[in-house]
Structures are given as structure tokens and as C-alpha cells.
């Protein structure tokens, strides 16, 4: 009997917690039609630039005759073309519903498509990317103050403390 009461109490706490944790419905952010159209045109420009960038990366991989890079960029190019078609379709749907209340959802779909294309461009750049090498000018390594000439004497003075070596242990 006590177990049944404790289960009922836990369920009551869960239901009360869920009811109190329900967020208030935020008011939808209504944007004006001209604002949405301007942002959509800007996103379309970015999509076009991203497509051109991936095409340029594809040409670079062909020029380098690097099959692995070319394969990777070709894969991204196929995905960019597919996403671009979806972007154009969602943009056409947005144009159809620009004067209705459904424009916010359609606008969100358009912007998500543009973001997916941007990510694919970044992935294509990663396919071509070269590892960054630090040149000697940018190197911040400083040599130790120990004399490296064996004929100059001992490298350590008597007041230099040298830490003893640590021994391997299965417990460390």
C-alpha cells in the first residue's frame, strides 16, 4: 500500500511539473512583406555566390588533378544543386504566400535552405583545404636559457634545481 502511495505521489509531481513547465506561447514574429522579400533576395545572392564558390573549388581540384579532393567536391556540388533546387522551390512558395499569414513559415524554410547551402560550401572548402603551416616568422618558440656549447662549461649552476625523473607506476 505504501508503495502505491509513493508511485501516485511521484506521478502527481511529474504531472504538476509538466503543467508548471509549459512555456507561454510566444507571439509569432510577424515580419513585413517588403522586409521578407529583401532578406530573401539577399539570401538568394548568397546562394548564388556559394554555388559559384563550389564550382571554383571543383575547377581547382581538377587543375590539381587530385582525385580525392575532386570526388569530395563533386559530392558537395551534387548536394548543393539539390539544395539549390529546393531553395528555389521554397522561394517560389514564399512568393505565392507573401501576403498571407503563412509567410513566416515559408520564410523560415527559405532561410533554412540558404543555411544548408552555406554549410555545404564550407564542407567543400574543407575538402580542398590545406593544413595551415606556421612559418618561422610567426613561430613563438623561445630556446631555453641553457648553454648548448659543451666546451663552455656546465649548463647548470649549483643553485639550479633539477626535478628528479618520475617513475612509471600502474597506480599513477
Give the model's confidence band at 28: pLDDT under 50 very low, under 70 low, under 90 confident, else very high: very low
Per residue in 40-91, pLDDT (tens digit) is 999 999 999 999 999 999 999 999 988 999 999 999 999 999 999 999 999 9
Burial class of residue 22 in the structure, from the number of CB atoms within 10 Å of its CB (0-12 exposed, 13-18 middle, 19+ buried): exposed
Q: Whole-angstrom Cα distance, residue 12 to residue 6?
A: 10
pLDDT surpasses 80 at 138: no
What ranges do the domains of the chain cover? 30-129
Q: Whole-angstrom Cα distance, residue 107 to residue 60?
A: 34
CA dihedral 50, 52, 58, 59 (to 10 degrees): -150
Average of per-residue pLDDT across 21-25: 47
Q: What is the pLDDT of residue 163?
A: 77
**Model confidence, pTM:** 0.58
Average of per-residue pLDDT across 12-16: 52
Give percent of the chain with pLDDT exceeding 90.
Answer: 41
Q: What is the pLDDT of residue 8?
A: 54
Give the chain's mean pLDDT.
Answer: 78
Q: At what angle do helices 67-96 and 103-128 cross, to 10 degrees?
A: 170
Amino acid at each position: 500500500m505504501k508503495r502505491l502511495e509513493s508511485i501516485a505521489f511521484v506521478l502527481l509531481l511529474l504531472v504538476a511539473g509538466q503543467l508548471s513547465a509549459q512555456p507561454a506561447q510566444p507571439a509569432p514574429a510577424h515580419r513585413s512583406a517588403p522586409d521578407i522579400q529583401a532578406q530573401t533576395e539577399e539570401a538568394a545572392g548568397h546562394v548564388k555566390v556559394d554555388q559559384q564558390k563550389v564550382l571554383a573549388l571543383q575547377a581547382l581540384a581538377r587543375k590539381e588533378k587530385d582525385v580525392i579532393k575532386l570526388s569530395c567536391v563533386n559530392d558537395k556540388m551534387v548536394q548543393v544543386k539539390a539544395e539549390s533546387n529546393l531553395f528555389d522551390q521554397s522561394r517560389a512558395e514564399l512568393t505565392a504566400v507573401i501576403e498571407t499569414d503563412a509567410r513566416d513559415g515559408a520564410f523560415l524554410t527559405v532561410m533554412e535552405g540558404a543555411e544548408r547551402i552555406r554549410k555545404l560550401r564550407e564542407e567543400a572548402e574543407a575538402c580542398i583545404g590545406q593544413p595551415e603551416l606556421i612559418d618561422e616568422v610567426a613561430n613563438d618558440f623561445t630556446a631555453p636559457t641553457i648553454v648548448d656549447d659543451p666546451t663552455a662549461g656546465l649548463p647548470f649552476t649549483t643553485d639550479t634545481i633539477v626535478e628528479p625523473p618520475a617513475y612509471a607506476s600502474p597506480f599513477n
